[in-house]
Chains A and B, each alone.
Chain A
């Protein structure tokens, strides 16, 4: 037996690790969601907190329920993947898009933009609003993709709790907006419903960065705080997809603490607005 397994803690972690792998494998085989290359530390935390939420004493117990009850699987999928984001999160990113990327986007007769890992749609609607303010939405199509069908439904509805709007409004103003956020939603019954005409320019669709491939040629990929949940192998796969999806000189926007420095795909992109984590596809050599 492994000499490492000398203490109770080591043994408990080893058992947890085995059960964790088995759970991931069961999900892959039965439901075709591939979590094998997710960053393990965050994944372990989420799975541990799922034990509390689903009132299971062990991961084996949770696995049993996941295998037998599709409902439990879908609730677990929400638990493992749902990201709480904000509209215009990191306003500096949107300001940089406005000031440096939009002038380039203007030169295209029609625009395709990909929001990869769109969760509940905050980022997709933010971009739609920004494009409308810049007079580009009419010729734009935004693909907003996620692996979770339940989240996609919520994203498509474009409805957010009204208590989140104050924060969105501050972010929006700081993004250099030329209009008021209230122009884009109707408040009713404690909820804010975003303008349907924004949604007409967004296609919400099921796409996995782990298992699916290129589906369109786009001028901008915005994928923020998604790659931090992947290990390097999957991160590289996703970046390769982005590279292959981007047109010549296309743009890639990442989260404020995501760096390409440690990726095998680092050479495929060059910094465009460094402090805002906006990159441009490198010329083929």
Chain B
């Protein structure tokens, strides 16, 4: 029986798989891996929205969504279906091409950035040396989606939201970049995999201790970059309705929503990889309690919790204060810390603390 099955499998392989050209086979295998990353990611995005509503509900002494399915667990699916059935409106005065292309411009980079994320020591789709550069490049492209959406809508609220949001994202991008330079100086590699390997050996080796100011700057800039509360003036529902995506409806809006949450998870994962030791357990033991991937996921969930907690706790920042924080506090702090790392490395015996 099993022989028959084996024969059938090899027959199918000979007939369908072997005649394919080599690059195509490679591409198919990659596509399989990509789906293995993408589908859990999209599921995580869906349930992050649920977790957010539940958590904020509890923090405000409400119950949160609890009607759809047992304890509300089917809520994200109901939301997706509802958005699917809503009309996609393209305003008369909008630039139609730009209007349609904007959501794609914001989702594609926030998903494609996951190609270089190392999940465990062996689990990484594209182990390229320039992975950090690639991440920085792709997260910068996200701002195009915002500004094109705001411009193409030809609506005042959308325009104001896009201007604010673009200036804010661009400002915090600098602080973020400088924070990354600090990590590079400590790890000596642009490869995310190498950066995690450099943090091996218990939590005292993780970079959040020697690079603590950069850790804070990076994480808070990440919150600002994703336009999350308390830096969500781009949406500012009490002043400019919904900001850059006010004219979007139905699935076109859902794409923006998806991109925002995928970006949140990406920032959280990058924070974990660069400052919180990636897939390593906090204490090195001779036996393994959890597999490395669980450690990574637990840490990511922990960081994501802060995103949600911030939203429930802090009132929205005023715009001038946001810009002040980005330019006058974060940038000088990161610059100074880069100099501190350099001086400590070359002129004091404390250099090993930073490596």
A, B assembled together: no
Give B contacts to A, CB under 8 Å: none
**Residues on A facing B (Cβ under 8 Å):** none
